[in-house]
Amino acid sequence: RPVEILNWDAHADVRPRTGGLGHSGSPFREAAEHPSGALRRYTVAGLHPWRVAGAHAAFASGLGRVVWRDELTPEAVDALAAGLTAPAMVTFDLDAVDGAAGVSAPGVGGMPVALWLRAADACGRSAATSFDVVELSPPHDADGRTSTLAALTVWHILRGIAAR
């Protein structure tokens, strides 16, 4: 089925395969290049400009929309969620959150937790039909804070779905 994807992430995740194999940085390029042609639109929001190659940002822009971290306001988050049309998948990559240490690619300068959870709630209320929360790395999550964030993200998604 044709599908729209909204990816909340610090990275575009549209890198080419390596040696013909997919990896954590290639899933949305793989979706875009799938022989079915089922990807209707790809939006990536929360990108850290210092963590995204220009070629990857350009590739992602050609699939839909790129929204940089500094462009995200509560209103922009709400508009991204409200603009989804079913079927739509929303993926929440925890490395987009400022200071999330328990991820495979920790960084700083990302989305504040309150804005992240607002996105989860807004997407739950949207026309999205599929969700995931990714990149939690328990070995790097010494104090369990990122695991708690992952659980809260799911809770906010479900809270949004319940409000539909």
Question: pLDDT digits over 102-140, tens only?
Answer: 998 888 999 999 999 999 999 999 999 999 999 999 999
Element (H or E) spanning 6, and its range?
strand 3-8
C-alpha dist (Å) from residue 159 to 91, 124, 154, 163: 16, 7, 8, 6
Q: Are 116 and 148 in contact (CB under 8 A)?
A: no
Instruction: Specify the pLDDT at position 42.
Output: 98
Q: Which amino acid is at 162?
A: A
Q: Kindly state the tokens that stand for 61.
A: 């822009």
> What pLDDT score does 107 carry?
86
Indicate the pTM of the whole model. 0.97
CA 92 to chain centre: 4
- Sign for the pseudo-dihedral over CA of 42, 47, 49, 53: negative
**Across the chain, what does the average pLDDT equal?**
97
Q: Is 16 helix (H, G, I), strand (E, B) or coil?
A: coil
The reported pLDDT for the residue numbered 127 is 98
User: Which token pair is 153?
Assistant: 């993200």
pLDDT at residue 29 in the model: 97
pLDDT digit string, tens, across residues 10-64: 999 999 999 999 999 999 999 999 999 999 999 999 999 999 999 999 999 999 9
Helices (H), 4-144: 27-33, 54-63, 74-82, 113-125
Name the residue among 72, 52, 41 with its Cα closest to residue 12. Answer: 52
Q: How far is CA 79 from CA 62, 73, 82, 126, in A?
A: 20, 10, 5, 10
pLDDT score of 70 more than 90? yes
